[in-house]
Amino acid sequence: MLEDKDLVSVQEVRTKVEKAYAAFQQYRRFTQEQVDSIVESMAAAARAEAERLAVMAVEETGYGNVPSKVAKNMLCADLLPRRMRGMKTIGVIRQAREEGIIEIAEPVGVVGAILPTTNPTSTAIYKTLIALKSGNGIVLSPHPRAKACTCATTEVLKRAAIASGAPDDIIQCIFTSSIEGTNALMRHPRTGVILSTGGSGIVKAAYSSGKPAFGVGPGNVPVLIEDSAEVTQAVRKVVEGKSFDYGTVCSSEQTIVASEALREKILGELKASKAFLCSEEQGKALSRVLLNERLAVNADCVGQAPAKIAEKAGFTVPGDVSILVVEIGGVGKQYPLSAEKLSPVLAVHFVKDFPRAVDACEAILRLGGLGHTCVIYSKDDARILEYGKRMPAFRVLVNTPAPQGSTGITTNVFPSMTLGCGAMAGNITSDNVGPQHLINIKRIAYEVRTAAEAFPDQAGQPAAQSAGIDRNKIAGAVDRYLSQRGIRVAGVAPTSGAGGNIAAEVVDRFLATRGSNPAPAPAQAGCGISPSSESSARPEPPPADFVCEYDVRLAIRESRKIPVSPKTIVTPSARDLAAQHDILVTSKPV
């Protein structure tokens, strides 16, 4: 009797989503301590099985290499749980008494997790840990070509979770995976959110499902080696990143961009790092075998060893070659190897200077990696900042291999296998996705002011003033505070006594910055605030201790100078404005 695989897959999805949802109803009542204990147990079990699962992944999919897949498994089973320790995700997660706010985490329910074929075991560990850390259940849908290793990983995690007290069905894996089954998972009424990793088609399907979804775009990572960089170290790190798991990570380096002045040095260091520099004809052959006319990657070349890819292109390279390198003359569809290659093939592109290098890196990202990741090697902080501000990418990595830096192995970004590309790439987030994205937050908010206090009254005065603030009392308190510390205010002569003129001036300035126009205090001879016929007899005010922009604007209106000394603190905005109007004058400190 023939079996309809799609129908079997859809029915399996329906059954397992319902089981996960029922288990979630129990799990949502667990405490933070219970949840954290379960997560730690799962992580420990995954660490113990990291190598076995890596071997399974390589044998089943044919992608990547075992050492790199072990490293990815450990990223998710070791570094990730260490980063999550102490993170509040259950119940009350913040109490701000002074704000009158209490925040409570609300889990999303059942996480529908779509798994890739390139990183099947590490992504299963990552998604399961962040789902349970945030109080949710999870149903994993493996890629059909990675079903065995994904389900084996899930079983390791599930056994550990149950042994630590988790409900039996809180983790589910679809054994009969299919496109129809995956679509059913994404559209199931009990699915709370979708975590989708894979090609652009499955990501678009996730966003089209009608469910909240975290899907990410492709990466086409440019690497700018700037003139101040330590070239030997930079090239070594680029090769380390590009050869990692044979280029299967979406944040793997794709093209080095550098000035012509560094050309011979970079090519020499690539050779020293066992990179194979292809001839022009070999580069064209690689282009034909790796990419089609739409710049889509040939699946038979994804994550393959350099020697195997070279063989497919019709030439041979030594067995110990780390990566294949092709020099290209520009960026765009007419230069196919400037696109993402998902293999240990690296393009290099040399330009005249730094501005043109930045232009080229931006063009590479816009060709197919919008919002994802870029890298710069440099010792020049100004140029690093300029590059970071210019690049349309949300992970700008500095002096680090790209896969390791983007996923949090060598940087302090959140350890993750789902790297958001932001609105510019049609993604819901630009973050490295973690458990904080799988909770909603409810807020208990106490009244802290009346509506009358929140808005200005009809006369335009702040409601707090109309509610009875006594200016003289505030002035007295301020005067006592200033007197105790010997502080002088810009342009104001010292006085003594509660409610004195320094304090009154400070209060008036404070109120003026908030839209108030308080009535001036009665003028007193020699106060240094209100003009009078005796002003010419007043002593020159001593230098101010502190000058802000408001002080300068007040002095401009009153056509007077502000005396300062070398010890006076002047805010940058005040100094700029004062320079335009020649307001500050230097006098000897008193």
Catalytic residue positions?
Answer: 250
* Residue in 367, 432, 435, 377 with CA at minimum distance from that of residue 406: 432
Which spans in 62-197 are helix H?
66-74, 80-84, 120-133, 147-163, 179-187
Instruction: Tell me the CB-side half-sphere exposure of residue 469, using CA atoms within 13 A.
Output: 17
DSSP 376: E
> What is the H or E stretch that residue 574 is in?
helix 572-581
The structure tokens listed for 370 are 């919008």
DSSP string, 95-107: EEGGGTEEEEEEE
SS3 331: coil
**d(C-alpha 65, C-alpha 69), whole Å:** 6
Using CA of residue 548, residue 551, residue 557, residue 561, what is the dihedral sign? negative
The amino acid at 462? P
The structure tokens listed for 495 are 């006085």
Torsions phi, psi of 223, nearest 5? -125, 115
369 exposure class (CB count in 10 Å sphere: 0-12, 13-18, 19+): buried
**d(C-alpha 129, C-alpha 79), whole Å:** 12
Torsions phi, psi of 248, nearest 5? -80, -20
> What is the H or E stretch that residue 562 is in?
strand 562-570
**d(C-alpha 590, C-alpha 586), whole Å:** 12
* Residue in 44, 45, 47, 41 with CA at minimum distance from that of residue 74: 47
* Residue in 372, 418, 414 with CA at minimum distance from that of residue 113: 418
* Residue in 583, 581, 536 with CA at minimum distance from that of residue 563: 583
**d(C-alpha 570, C-alpha 586), whole Å:** 12
DSSP 445: E
> How many contiguous H segments (helices) and E segments (strands) does the chain have?
22, 18
Torsions phi, psi of 251, nearest 5? -100, 20
Cβ contact 301:284 at 8 Å:
no
User: How many Å is the maximal CA-CA distance in the chain?
Assistant: 112
**d(C-alpha 294, C-alpha 251), whole Å:** 20
Torsions phi, psi of 25, nearest 5? -60, -30
The rounded Cα 218 to chain-centroid distance in angstroms is: 16
* Residue in 175, 200, 335 with CA at minimum distance from that of residue 254: 335
Q: What angle do CA 90, 92, 95 make, to 5 degrees?
A: 145
Residue at token pair 């492709």: 218
